[in-house]
Structure 1
Amino acid sequence: MAREHAKIRLDIWADDEWRELDVECQHLYLLLLSHPTLNYVGVADWRPGRIAQLAKGMTADGVRETAGRLRAGGFVLADDDTEEILVRSFVKHDGLLKQPKLAVSMANAFGATASNAIRSVVAFEVQKQRERAPELAAWSVKQVQTVLEARGTPIDGIRHGFTPGFTPDLGPGFTPDLGPGFTPNGGQAQGLPTTTATTTATEASLLSSDEPKKKSMRLPSSWSPTADHVKRAQEAGINLLREAEAFRLHAETHDRHAANWNSAFTTWLKKSKPSPGGSGRKFAANDEWMYR
């Protein structure tokens, strides 16, 4: 049975994280929620060129950039390889788990999803709902057991924050100054040094005459926040997972180079805004990070 309407909860406007999104992000999110291809598991066709035709002035690149910002906030997950995009909280808010017939449709849609990464996030969201609301009718439906038994992964646990092939440009509005030692290489961004001479002079001013200059390099794949970063985030009420993910995406998307990545991330955290209600989780210095 095809969907004929979209459910949008009115209390979405009371959510602080939603209200912090820019208008382009809110528009794309609502567009995806009401998109004709969105199925009963919250997965729609991910074809930026076609999506861009739905509103005057939209472009495929703009859709990708906006989706990148939504992903940084944990709202969506896209996979270019399978051309699918997930609205993460769809299963939670649509109410289909209260109705056995729709729960069957949800399970069927889960089976038809091609992206393994998206399937794992859907499974996690469904399993989380079972823990929160064990009385829902969906849990007695045989077909739903497949979803409950699948391997679930939180959206923040997807490596590098994106599935293979999805590498969005976060756009000119997402270019915080990462401070001394963070030197752009390739496409310039607003708020960052614009010439090699300026950047070199900035770095040199921080070094004593007898101290060797460190070589700038790309962000290592093994990089993860330090114990000091964990402490700073906890004290400031910052969502460390989200900020580390956004930091890595920004560095990879813009091909940034830095002499000291830990210092660059410290500067990033100093400029980050506290998350509503705090970080939402306490981290230990020896936590297993999901960005490796």
Structure 2
Amino acid sequence: MTRAYGSISSLIWRDGDFTSLPIEAQWLYFALVTQPDISSAGVLTLAERRWAGYTSNPQQHPDDIMTALEVLADKRFVGVDVSTSEVLVRSFIRHDGGYQNTKRHKAIAAAIRSVASPMLLAIIQREIANLDMENKVRDTLCPTWRDAVSRDGEQAEGYPKVMVTVTDQVTDPVPNYESGGSESSSSNESNARGLRAVGGTRSTKAGDE
């Protein structure tokens, strides 16, 4: 089921990290949050070609989207795993507010289970750990994350390390996923930066996006 709205806190304009971003990165953040296919966990399929077509600027190119995405990832507003063609809006669950509604728990848990990237699952787990909720609610929302992280072989004490790796070119083939992955594969391979996996956390405070 596609979403009809996206929730953005007005306190975002008090976040110095956000207001210091270039306008292209700010635009992309709003575009990501309001995508109809964003999941209840804040995850989308990486689709830079489609996003590049959302403006009337004929100079807009998928590589420009990847540049803006890298800026957002560097500031920890998003997590990106090119190997699974997934993008996570880090604070989506918190600002969407669904975790406060027991009727939404099932949808959030299902969305989390559908995430393929162990790195993004670890970021989601950190975010859920910072939310004001009972432990049993956390367990309901994210019950299988440890197994997913273990499969990646990067399990540390509590969470795996989240690495930022930028290479001159893409050396590993980008999988062609049947559900939207093919749109990203060709442009990812042509992206000179070869952004492989970016993600992380920032401190949670009032106004933090």
TM over 0.5: yes
Question: Aligned partners of 1:38, 1:12: CA distance in 2, in Å?
Answer: 20
Alignment of 1:38 onto 2:38? yes
Alignment of 1:160 onto 2:126? no
Question: Aligned partners of 1:161, 1:153: CA distance in 2, in Å?
Answer: 18
Query: Match for 1:123: what amino acid?
Result: Q
Query: Match for 2:116: what amino acid?
Result: A
Q: Deviations over 1:193-241 (max 9, x none)?
A: xxxxxxxxxxxxxxxxxxxxxxxxxxxxxxxxxxxxxxxxxxxxxxxx9
Sort the Cα spacing of 1:80 and 1:140 in 2 relative to 1 into closer, same or farther, 3 A: closer
1:4 aligns to what?
4
TM superposition score normalised by structure 2: 0.68
1:65 aligns to what?
67
Residue pair 1:65, 1:168 contacting (<8 A) in 2 also: no
Sort the Cα spacing of 1:11 and 1:66 in 2 relative to 1 into closer, same or farther, 3 A: same
Sort the Cα spacing of 1:55 and 1:61 in 2 relative to 1 into closer, same or farther, 3 A: same
Sort the Cα spacing of 1:13 and 1:114 in 2 relative to 1 into closer, same or farther, 3 A: same
Question: SS of the counterpart of 1:21?
Answer: coil
Q: Please point out which of 73, 76, 80 is paired with 2:82.
A: 80
* Greater RCO, CA 8 A, separation 6+: 2
Q: Deviations over 1:68-98 (max 9, x none)?
A: 1111111111122221100011112111110
1:19 aligns to what?
19
Residue pair 2:41, 2:92 contacting (<8 A) in 1 also: yes
Deviation at 1:65, TM superposition (A): 0.7
Question: Aligned partners of 2:28, 2:143: CA distance in 1, in Å?
Answer: 31
RMSD of the TM alignment (CA)? 3.0
Sequence identity percentage: 25
TM superposition score normalised by structure 1: 0.50
The number of aligned residues is 165
User: Highest Rg: 1 or 2?
Assistant: 1
Question: SS of the counterpart of 1:81?
Answer: helix
Sort the Cα spacing of 1:47 and 1:127 in 2 relative to 1 into closer, same or farther, 3 A: same
Structure 1 residue runs of 4+, over 6 Å off? Answer: 164-168
Stretches of structure 1 lacking an aligned partner (at least 5 in a row) = 171-240, 243-276, 278-292
Pairwise mapping of residues 105-184 of structure 1 onto structure 2 (< 5 A)?
105-129=107-131, 133-134=132-133, 139-140=136-137, 143-146=140-143, 153=159, 157-160=161-164, 169=193
Question: Aligned partners of 1:98, 1:22: CA distance in 2, in Å?
Answer: 33
Residue pair 1:77, 1:88 contacting (<8 A) in 2 also: yes
Sort the Cα spacing of 1:141 and 1:111 in 2 relative to 1 into closer, same or farther, 3 A: same
Question: Aligned partners of 1:64, 1:79: CA distance in 2, in Å?
Answer: 12
Residue pair 1:123, 1:148 contacting (<8 A) in 2 also: yes
Deviation at 1:44, TM superposition (A): 0.9
Deviation at 1:128, TM superposition (A): 2.2
Question: Aligned partners of 2:86, 2:72: CA distance in 1, in Å?
Answer: 15
Residue pair 2:78, 2:88 contacting (<8 A) in 1 also: yes
Deviation at 1:124, TM superposition (A): 1.6
Query: Match for 2:47: what amino acid?
Result: R
Query: Match for 2:79: what amino acid?
Result: L
2:178 aligns to what?
none
Stretches of structure 2 lacking an aligned partner (at least 5 in a row) = 150-157, 167-171, 175-187, 195-200
